């Protein structure tokens, strides 16, 4: 095992991986996505005229933050998301808002002129639904992180690596995802699965309150006592639906030494490994989190990796039942104790880099001058597994992975604290899921393999999906993402955004 992980290794070890609906994104055209048509937005809001150049100039002057328009030197950098797949989309403006009043200003402008509006934090939407042809409200400038008395207040534009890093100075953290540049807003609003989720829950499970600017320009505090329905919906109901979140208050947990591990077996043991892992990982002690990777990129490779909240010796002991169920010692193994911060850097694919280097390069908010974290384009689909695979299901998964192409399947363990909440306690419904499943692929043929693998596995996994792996080609997405919570979510949407200002193809 290398000390520093390259991008491909990152994809293999991280809890959840980067994906974008690249080649197969039917909604994206050279001129922009179909959902962001200005005419329908104008019709919806009753606006008669599109904003003139001087209207845009006035908006920019009225903001404490910065409005970037086509023609500005930073425009191309400002409009890009994490995935190059959406580089063809050209917003009319990208507003780097300095605070809630800038956001309210932008929303008023969008309504007045019927300009489609979308919110953006880390820009990792798999479907590219944090950009569009209208006004992008970017919250990256709102990225402060503070901690005191068991709580952290985190600006909605903070990226995960900065959240981990700044909280580490206080000896605390929050359960969150692996990718360093994912934004806390998109992650939290859709749930937030990470390497300590079995111990501490999803990111949304430790959310005590949030501040959000709603379509009418109000800045609302939402918690158990104030706007409790919006608070409920903001914990798993998905980003971009109810307003523009500007700040989150989380419960923190103290950090400690942890152990990270990566074990490999020959591909010939894939069936045994899947059977053993699915019977072990979701039911292991909460301190143990793991995932299973089936890789065909470029060759076949089988890895079980993870993080244990405890010593190396204890971790080794916990791994023994898994190894004995597989019936063979790993062909290669890396098990090592690390500080919590180092483990987060490792899981982020940032080992060997500084925190500053673990950003995208540039001088816009959220970027750093020495940033080295690359963008990536690949396609993905997913399932949430509510039951273990049968022998036939295991066979199908192994066969699909072994098909020609550059692709992989990742199974991330759930259970533990995630499973101890009721499915309706928050908007995230998948409390009974035992693991998540992601299929991802690069290069030509990606969409065909994804469609085929997903279809082949649906009879075995069922039709549940995670809204943070948003999938434009998923049929029955409402039920798949939200299950029985869909009805209540629709009521919250009607109450807080009756005019549907916040709109995209899979908006609640």
Decide whether 197 or 447 has the Cβ nearer to ligand FAD: 197
Q: Which of residues 81-100 bind ligand FAD (CB under 6 A)?
A: 82
Q: 3-state secondary structure string, 276-292?
A: HHHHHHHHCCCCEEEEE
Q: Is 349 in the site for ligand FAD (CB under 6 A)?
A: no
In this chain, which of 175, 177, 282, 310 binds ligand FAD, going by CB under 6 A? 177
Shortest reach from residue 125's CB to ligand FAD, in Å: 3
Stretch that binds ligand FAD, among 118-126, 297-305, 320-328, 486-494 (CB under 6 A): 118-126
The stretch near ligand FAD (CB under 6 A) out of 166-174, 188-196, 295-303, 330-338 is 188-196
Binder of ligand FAD out of 28, 125, 214, 252 (CB under 6 A)? 125
| Closest to ligand FAD by CB, 124 or 264 | 124
**Of 461-490, which residues contact ligand FAD (CB under 6 A)?**
468
DSSP state string for 150-207 = TEEEEETT-BHHHHHHHHHTTTEE----S-TT-BHHHHHHH----TTHHHH--GGGGE
Q: Which is nearer to ligand FAD, 242 or 277 (CB)?
A: 242
**Residue from 28, 85, 92, 118 binding ligand FAD (CB under 6 A):** 118
Strand ranges (E), 233-281: 244-251, 253-254, 258-265
Within 190-249, the residues that bind ligand FAD by CB under 6 A are: 190-194, 239-240, 244-245
252 sits near ligand FAD (criterion: CB under 6 A): no
Quick one: which of 208, 53, 42 has its CA closest to 112? 42
- Is the CB of 144 or the CB of 331 nearer to ligand FAD? 144
CA 462 to chain centre: 22
With a CB cutoff of 8 Å and minimum separation 6, the contacts of 254 are 171, 172
CA 53 from centroid of its chain's CA atoms: 35
DSSP 363-432: SSTTEETT--PPP---EEEEEEESS---HHHHHHHHHHHTSSSEEEEEEEE--GGGGGS-TTTSS---TT
**Pairwise CA distance, residues 310 & 287, whole Å:** 7
CA 20 to chain centre: 11
What is the four-CA torsion angle of 179, 183, 189, 193, rounded to 10 degrees?
10
- State both tokens at 222: 């939402």
Which of residues 142 and 326 has its CB atom nearest to ligand FAD in the complex? 142
Q: Shortest distance, CB of residue 76 to ligand FAD, whole angstroms?
A: 18
Q: What b/e string do you get for 149-182 counting C-beta neighbours within 10 Å, with b at 16 or more? A: eebbbbbbbbbbbbbbbbbbeeebbbbbbbbbbb
Helix, strand, coil tally for the chain in percent (to 5): 35, 20, 45
Which residues are CB-contacts of 225 (< 8 A; sequence separation ≥ 6)? none
Is residue 323 a contact residue for ligand FAD (CB under 6 A)? Answer: no
Positions 128 through 167 that interact with ligand FAD (CB under 6 A)? 129-130, 139, 156
One residue of 32, 100, 186, 365 binding ligand FAD per CB under 6 A: 186
CA distance 18 to 38: 30
Q: Give the separation between CA 82 and CA 101, rounded to whole angstroms.
A: 27
Give 19 or 485: the residue with its C-beta nearer to ligand FAD: 19
Binding flags for ligand FAD, 40-69, as an x/- string (CB under 6 A): ------------------------------
Alpha carbon distance 313, 183 (integer Å): 35
Q: Which of 21, 107, 182, 206 binds ligand FAD (CB under 6 A)?
A: 182
Q: 3-state class of 42 per DSSP?
A: helix
Kindly determine how many residues on this chain lie close enough to bind ligand FAD according to the rule CB under 6 A.
38
Among residues 11 and 319, whose Cβ is nearest to ligand FAD? 11
**Among residues 124 and 442, whose Cβ is nearest to ligand FAD?**
124
Q: Binding to ligand FAD by residue 80, rule CB under 6 A?
A: no
- Binding segment for ligand FAD among 53-61, 177-185, 281-289, 478-486 (CB under 6 A)? 177-185
Region of 105-113, 180-188, 225-233, 364-372 interacting with ligand FAD (CB under 6 A) = 180-188
Cα 298 to chain center, whole Å? 25
178 binds ligand FAD (CB under 6 A): yes
Which part of the chain contacts ligand FAD (CB under 6 A), choosing from 185-193, 282-290, 330-338, 488-496? 185-193
- Site for ligand FAD contains 265 (CB under 6 A): no
List residues binding ligand FAD (CB under 6 A).
Answer: 15-19, 82, 118-126, 129-130, 139, 156, 177-179, 182-183, 185-187, 189-194, 239-240, 244-245, 468
């Amino acid at each position: 095992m290398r000390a520093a992980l390259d991008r491909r290794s990152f994809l293999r070890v991280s809890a959840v991986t980067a994906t974008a609906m690249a080649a197969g994104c039917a909604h994206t055209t050279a001129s922009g996505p179909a959902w962001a048509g200005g005419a329908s937005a104008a019709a919806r809001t009753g606006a008669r005229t599109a904003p003139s150049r001087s209207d845009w100039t006035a908006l920019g002057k009225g903001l404490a933050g910065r409005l970037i328009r086509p023609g500005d030197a930073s425009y191309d950098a400002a409009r890009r998301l994490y995935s190059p797949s959406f580089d063809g989309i050209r917003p009319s403006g990208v507003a780097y808002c300095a605070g809630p009043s800038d956001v309210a200003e932008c929303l008023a402008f969008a309504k007045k002129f019927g300009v489609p509006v979308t919110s953006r934090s880390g820009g990792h939407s798999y479907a590219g639904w944090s950009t569009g042809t209208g006004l992008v409200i970017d919250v990256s400038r709102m990225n402060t992180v503070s901690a005191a008395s068991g709580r952290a207040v985190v600006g909605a534009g903070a990226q995960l690596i900065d959240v981990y890093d700044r909280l580490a100075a206080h000896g605390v953290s929050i359960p969150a995802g692996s990718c360093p540049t994912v934004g806390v807003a998109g992650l939290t609003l859709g749930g937030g699965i990470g390497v300590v989720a079995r111990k501490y829950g999803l990111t949304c499970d430790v959310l005590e309150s949030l501040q959000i600017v709603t379509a009418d320009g109000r800045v609302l505090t939402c918690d158990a006592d104030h706007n409790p329905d919006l608070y409920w919906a903001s914990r798993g109901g998905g980003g971009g639906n109810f307003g523009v979140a500007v700040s989150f208050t989380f419960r923190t947990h103290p950090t400690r030494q942890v152990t990270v591990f990566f074990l490999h077996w020959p591909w010939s043991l894939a069936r045994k490994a899947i059977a053993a892992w699915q019977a072990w990982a979701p039911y292991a002690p909460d301190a143990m989190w793991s995932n299973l990777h089936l890789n065909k990129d470029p060759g076949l490779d089988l890895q079980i990796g993870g993080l244990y909240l405890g010593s190396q010796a204890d971790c080794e002991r916990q791994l023994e039942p898994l190894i004995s169920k597989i019936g063979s010692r790993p062909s290669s193994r890396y098990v090592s104790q690390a500080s919590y911060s180092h483990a987060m850097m490792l899981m982020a694919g940032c080992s060997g880099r500084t925190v500053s280097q673990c950003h995208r390069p540039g001088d816009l908010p959220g970027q750093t001058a020495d940033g080295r974290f690359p963008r990536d384009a690949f396609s993905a689909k997913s399932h949430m597994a509510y039951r273990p695979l049968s022998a036939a299901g295991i066979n199908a998964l192994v066969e699909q992975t072994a098909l020609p192409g550059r692709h992989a399947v990742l199974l991330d363990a759930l259970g533990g604290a995630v499973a101890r909440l009721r499915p309706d306690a928050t908007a995230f419904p998948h409390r009974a899921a035992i693991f998540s499943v992601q299929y991802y692929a690069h290069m030509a043929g990606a969409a065909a393999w994804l469609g085929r693998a997903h279809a082949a596995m649906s009879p075995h996994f069922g039709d549940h999906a995670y809204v943070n792996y948003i999938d434009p080609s998923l049929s029955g997405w409402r039920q798949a993402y939200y299950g029985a919570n869909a009805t209540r979510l629709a009521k919250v949407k009607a109450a807080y955004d009756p005019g549907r200002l916040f709109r995209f193809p899979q908006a609640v």
